[in-house]
Amino acid sequence: MIQATSVVFDYSLSGAILAAAVLGHFGLWIWLYNRINASGFKRKTIKRTEKAFVLSCGLIPLGILLIELRFHGATSIIESGSFWAKLSVVTKSYSVIVILFAIAVAPFWILDRPQFAISKNRFELMESEDLSQLQHPESNAALYIQGSGFRRMAKLPGNQIVSMQRNRKRLLIDSLPDDLDGLRIAHLSDVHLTGQLSTSFYRLAIDWLSDQSPDLIVISGDIVDYESALQQIQPVFDGLSAPLGTYFILGNHEKRLPVPTDVCDEFCAMNWTDLGVSNAIARKGNTVIQLMGNELPWFQRHPTRSEAEPAIETHERAWRLGVSHSPDQFAWGIANRCKLLLCGHTHGGQIRFPVIGPVLVPSRYGARYASGVFSKGETLMHVSRGISGVHPYRWGCMPEASILELAARG
């Protein structure tokens, strides 16, 4: 009896160690994958490193399995109560490394879940609906997809690539000037014109935003992926205007273009303002709004933009609105005393699991800023899930177009 209990205990202990090692293994490679995609390395370097990480994640467990089978055989390991003790030094060493890694990052990983990281007391969701369902409930794929890759993937159950959520959020801002109370900002991000989706898909968002009569419009990067898709800019954004101006920056995906500034030329020809090269000023009543763009770590087109130093130039008393492609620049927004920072890049993680939420998020902070509203001090950051992407899948993570209404806090 005592011996049987001891065998069960040994099995349980070995099983628990093995489970922790499996968790640590995937945790380590996902952690690395997220960070490399947040870096400013050349795109080719990032993609090669990313492939190496994915291969390592798959091949290491396979290699370990082959080593153990070669030296012990499956039955020999399982027959022993404490199979952990019989494993090779290589397996044990790797397991200890990944288990220690898991123990070190687990508290941060838990705290970075959306339910803990989002500043729920700094915004109200006023309206939220799936525009594509409202207009064409059954035939989204036929209407909105041009590319065969996207069409195949769209058939997978629950894939939301041709959904489009419209949402209106009231953001509660500290010390908001009376002139800006009720200001409506249209925030679009990660448009990703690739030729895979039709102009009518993007117009779902553009037409709705236009109908909302926003005071100003901002795109926070990743507008075009391929040179051939530059021609889609004009039909997609045609007619979108706002009394306080229309503004854009570039994102990491513009790095794929032979001449990234071709995108800027197209937008400037439509009277949009390029915040990647200079700050801009808009006025509402007696209040000056200073708009500042940040394309780090991918572009540094602005002469004084730097992650380390605040770039306060003129208009010391202006109300500052920052636009950054990556939410990793939150500290920059705070240092520059931006009251609001608009970001994208992370696509909300593209896949959100029940309870744990997003896992693969290209940010040095992992899933913390995947999407939503975040605050630190007087700076509020809105991270959009974007309206498209190059990967033809989204689960639990609908594309979104947002109207942000400013309201005074307290």
Q: Which residues bind Fe ion (CB under 5 A)?
A: 190, 222
Task: Give the nearer residue to Fe ion in terms of CB position, either 68 or 222.
Answer: 222
**What is the smallest separation between the CB atom of 221 and Fe ion, expressed in angstroms?**
7
DSSP conformational letter for 197: B
Q: Which two tokens stand for residue 345?
A: 């890049």
Task: Give the nearer residue to Fe ion in terms of CB position, either 333 or 349.
Answer: 349
**What is the smallest separation between the CB atom of 192 and Fe ion, expressed in angstroms?**
6
Lookup result for tokens 């628990």 = 16
**What is the smallest separation between the CB atom of 387 and Fe ion, expressed in angstroms?**
10
**What is the smallest separation between the CB atom of 344 and Fe ion, expressed in angstroms?**
6
Q: Which residues pair with 249 in a beta bridge?
A: 220
- Planar angle of CA 138, 144, 148, nearest 5 degrees: 105
Task: Give the nearer residue to Fe ion in terms of CB position, either 222 or 405.
Answer: 222
Residue 8 Cα distances to 2, 78, 81, 87, 265, angstroms: 10, 12, 7, 18, 69
Kindly tell me the number of DSSP H helices and DSSP E strands found in the chain: 13, 15
Task: Give the nearer residue to Fe ion in terms of CB position, either 290 or 326.
Answer: 326
Q: Which two tokens stand for residue 279?
A: 């700050």
Task: Give the nearer residue to Fe ion in terms of CB position, either 68 or 190.
Answer: 190
Task: Give the nearer residue to Fe ion in terms of CB position, either 187 or 320.
Answer: 187
DSSP conformational letter for 130: E
In degrees and rounded to multiples of 5, residue 207 shows phi and psi of -65, -40
Lookup result for tokens 């041009």 = 146
Q: Which residues contact 308 (CB under 8 A, 6 or more apart)?
A: none
**What is the smallest separation between the CB atom of 248 and Fe ion, expressed in angstroms?**
14
Task: Give the nearer residue to Fe ion in terms of CB position, either 204 or 223.
Answer: 223
**What is the smallest separation between the CB atom of 350 and Fe ion, expressed in angstroms?**
10
Cβ-based neighbour number of residue 389 at 10 Å: 24
**What is the smallest separation between the CB atom of 62 and Fe ion, expressed in angstroms?**
32
Q: Which residues contact 11 (CB under 8 A, 6 or more apart)?
A: 81, 82, 83
Q: Which two tokens stand for residue 390?
A: 């190059």
Sign of CA dihedral 346, 272, 265, 197: positive
Cis previous bond, 297, omega within 30 = yes
**What is the smallest separation between the CB atom of 106 and Fe ion, expressed in angstroms?**
28
Task: Give the nearer residue to Fe ion in terms of CB position, either 130 or 222.
Answer: 222
Burial of 18 (0-12, 13-18, 19+ CB in 10 A): middle
**What is the smallest separation between the CB atom of 103 and Fe ion, expressed in angstroms?**
33
Residue pair 230/263 in contact (Cβ under 8 Å)? The answer is yes
Task: Give the nearer residue to Fe ion in terms of CB position, either 190 or 295.
Answer: 190
